[in-house]
Chains A and B, each alone.
Chain A
Amino acid sequence: MALMTPAQGVWLERRTDIVWILVAFGAMVGGFHVHQMLTVGDWDFWLDWKDRRWWVTLTPILLITFPAAVQYILWTNFRLPIGATFCIMALHFGQWMNRIINFYGWAWFPVNFVTPTLMIPSAIFLDTMLMLTKSYMFTALFGGMGFSLLMYPANWVWLAPFHLAVHHPTGPLMSVADLMGMEYVRSATPEYIRIIERGTLRTFGRDVTPVSAWFGGFVSGLVYLWWVFMGKWFGKVYFLKQT
């Protein structure tokens, strides 16, 4: 068959683009979601793990990884500043499938108890920072910091109601999140394995969140550069020498 008209060529090109975008999206849903479950894990699964120290610090550090690598590949090869948003949207798709089908549908946990960490604002910030600065170093410094600093306030909008205080009938003062953690039992997740509010940032009193987020931003910048090199390594094309 003779090749098509220019219009048909454009049509075929767009369909090819869409197929590859969908394939990449599916691969990212699987890969990034597994990474997130294995690293962030309980801090992201459960409402009563989302604290002011560990959740705030670890989540951006561990989730800037794939976005950094994919940003490198998409920006260097395609000049597309969507690597972070693409990764985070894929991650959120996988997370919500998991939380609704598994956690809610099979195990009966209320959806509000297993809501993931919202990272879209952080991802958009990282993408636009790369596009405006055109520098991985500046993106690491400022984008990594913004990626971390935006996480807590972006999530507080839905998290705040769960930090209302409750006087439990047996005596203690608890947040609603603590109470849900106690009542919605997880037989294999006893309370002592919660790594929350532990550490030595004691002189900051109630204002520990910005300090944790700032530290998370600093490390996120370092991890960003590390994973940019991962993207460079994975995105490299090797050719065999002709003999």
Chain B
Amino acid sequence: MGIKRGVLSAIVIGVIAVTAGTAWAHGERSQEPFLRMRTITFFDNHWSKKSVKPGEMMELTGRFHVYSEWPRAVYLPESIFVHYSVPGPSMLKKEAWLNGVPVINSTGIELGGDYESKMVIQGRVTGTYHVHPMVNIEAGGPLVGPGEFVTVDGDWTGFQNNVKTITGETVDMERLGLGRIAGWWGLWIVIGVFWLYYWARRPFFRRTDQVGKVPEEQLVTPGDKTFALVMIIGTVVLVGAGNAATKAAYPITIPLQAGRVHVPELKPTTAFTPFKQATVKVKSLDGVYTVPGRSMVMNLEVTNGSNRPQQLGGFVSANLQFRDPGLYPDTRLKLKVEPYGPIAPGQTVKVTLDATDAEWEYQRLAELIYDTDSRYGGIVEFFDADKNRQIVEVGGPVIPNFEAGSTSESGAKKFRRSTEYK
């Protein structure tokens, strides 16, 4: 029976071991669609290198927009941490910037705000990792942007992470203090083992019968008391002396830093106008998601309040960036805009956006029709003749359509298997 059970266990464990795949990413597709569409919208992300050596630096830059109509299910982003997601400290975060401000500790962001982030990352442990920009929301959890594989290529044996202190010493953080740790821990472990051995060398269980029956002095002798007195005094003296010597060795130390920094709003430039300063205004009329066709269609009312013609050329939501192929011929995810072309200054136009692709399914965004709050969200991009860009929030209720083999509007046969898009 025992052998049979052992064989069965071995088979089960073997099957699991053989069939288990490698975890390549961070489960970002498992986050509910409304989280990815209506909280933080990541875009313009750029990984400066796809391969670094241990010790070599790379930059992860990008922008994110904080959705105004923040979902009620998530705490407001009053306290956030700009971060990136990798498996453990395989790559070190050397610098982090948000709108030009260093954000080593946590900060806060505003609804409707736009932010430019930059992180300087150093390769450390050899391997290939999926690196995502990430914003952690206090009491809300992590929101991850799109990921790219980055390889740390080379031997990391002997990797050093040196830093210079304000008192002029250069220390290697990989090994700092190991001598002190080994020395003091080793000393106290020896003392602790000695104290245990002093008592455990005597018969142990026999004492349960002796307690209360034999004189106390036989169980705890005067010599034991003297030894205990030496131990208690010695412990206090050793701790005190070690502490005093350490204070003398390190006279200038500072406490842990727990400050917060304020990050100002992103200032508009000629090339990029954030949502709050955008002169193009958009009213979302309705949205339809056609399940079989993996097609999201939105009807918008656009008013061009700028003094230049503006063309709607992009829709960004949940880490997907759909672009008008007329403006961006190389775009992987294509956006169809009707009526097509620039909107004149002062003009108000009803526009239909058709973002159709199997990515909706592959990224598990089609699940949005099962959300408790079935509303879509994202940002649309407007371009002038010089490709200067404004971004504007869109969003509203989304109605599912289950008509087979069609997109929401055209009915064209755009259905493709999601596996084609991996």
Contacts and interface: CB of A to CB of B under 8 A. Distances in A.
Contact of B86 (A124, A168, A175, A185): A185
B92 A183 contact: yes
Interface string B158-196: 000101111101010111111011001100110111011
Contact of A185 (B92, B169, B207, B245): B92
Nearest to A129: B232
Nearest to A92: B189
Interface in B132-168: 134, 136, 138, 142, 161, 163-167
Contact of A108 (B89, B171, B178): B89
Interface residues of A, number: 87
B220 A178 contact: no
Contact of B193 (A89, A167, A206): A89
A183 B257 contact: no
Nearest to B210: A79
Contact of A124 (B138, B142, B231): B231
A166 B165 contact: yes
A42 interface: no
A121 B188 contact: yes
Given A20-B205, A107-B88, A167-B166, A192 B236 contact: no
Interface residues of B, number: 94
A174 interface: yes
Given A17-B203, A110-B173, A112-B177, A120 B252 contact: no
A171 B211 CA distance: 66
Interface stretch (B66-74, B99-107, B281-289, B303-311): B99-107
A166 B166 contact: yes
A202 B161 CA distance: 35
Chief secondary structure at chain B's binding surface: mixed
B89 A176 contact: no
A102 to B, nearest CB: 11
A150 B87 CA distance: 37
A98 interface: no
A227 interface: no
B30 interface: no
A13 B206 CA distance: 8
Contacts of B255: 51-52, 163, 175, 197, 206
A187 interface: yes
Given A82-B199, A183-B89, A190 B94 contact: no
B97 interface: yes
A111 interface: yes
A4 B191 CA distance: 37
A160 B253 contact: yes
Contact of B178 (A111, A128, A173, A180): A111
A108 B127 CA distance: 12
Contacts of B124: 108
A114 B174 CA distance: 12
A198 B309 CA distance: 53
A20 B125 CA distance: 43
Interface in A94-127: 106-112, 115, 118, 120-121, 123-125, 127
Interface string B329-352: 000000000000000000000000
B235 A150 contact: yes
Contacts of B105: 191-192
Contacts of A132: 225, 228-229, 232
A118 B258 contact: no
Nearest to A167: B166
B389 to A, nearest CB: 28
Contact of A13 (B174, B205, B253): B205
Interface stretch (A33-41, A61-69, A151-159, A214-222): A151-159
A86 B195 CA distance: 9
A170 B104 contact: yes
A162 interface: yes
User: Which of B89, B174, B188, B239 is packed against the most chain A CB atoms within 10 Å?
Assistant: B239
Given A131-B220, A154-B242, A188 B207 contact: no
Given A120-B191, A132-B228, A196-B258, A187 B184 contact: no
Given A124-B191, A156-B243, A191-B105, A17 B89 contact: no
Nearest to B193: A89
B23 interface: no
B93 interface: yes
B356 interface: no
A78 B138 CA distance: 50
B301 interface: no
Contact of B176 (A112, A121, A169, A193): A112
B83 interface: yes
User: Which of A17, A85, A191 is packed against the most chain B CB atoms within 10 Å?
Assistant: A191
B239 A150 contact: yes
Interface in B213-246: 216, 219-220, 224-225, 228-229, 231-232, 235-236, 238-240, 242-243, 245-246
Top 3 A-B pairs, shortest CB-CB distance: A170-B102, A190-B136, A190-B81
Given A124-B231, A175-B257, 20 more contacts: A10-B203, A17-B200, A77-B208, A112-B175, A121-B239, A128-B229, A128-B235, A132-B228, A156-B246, A160-B246, A163-B256, A164-B169, A164-B253, A176-B171, A178-B256, A180-B173, A185-B84, A186-B88, A187-B84, A190-B81
17 contacts: A51-B258, A52-B256, A82-B200, A108-B125, A125-B232, A128-B229, A131-B228, A153-B242, A156-B246, A158-B184, A161-B176, A163-B256, A166-B164, A182-B96, A185-B83, A190-B136, A194-B258
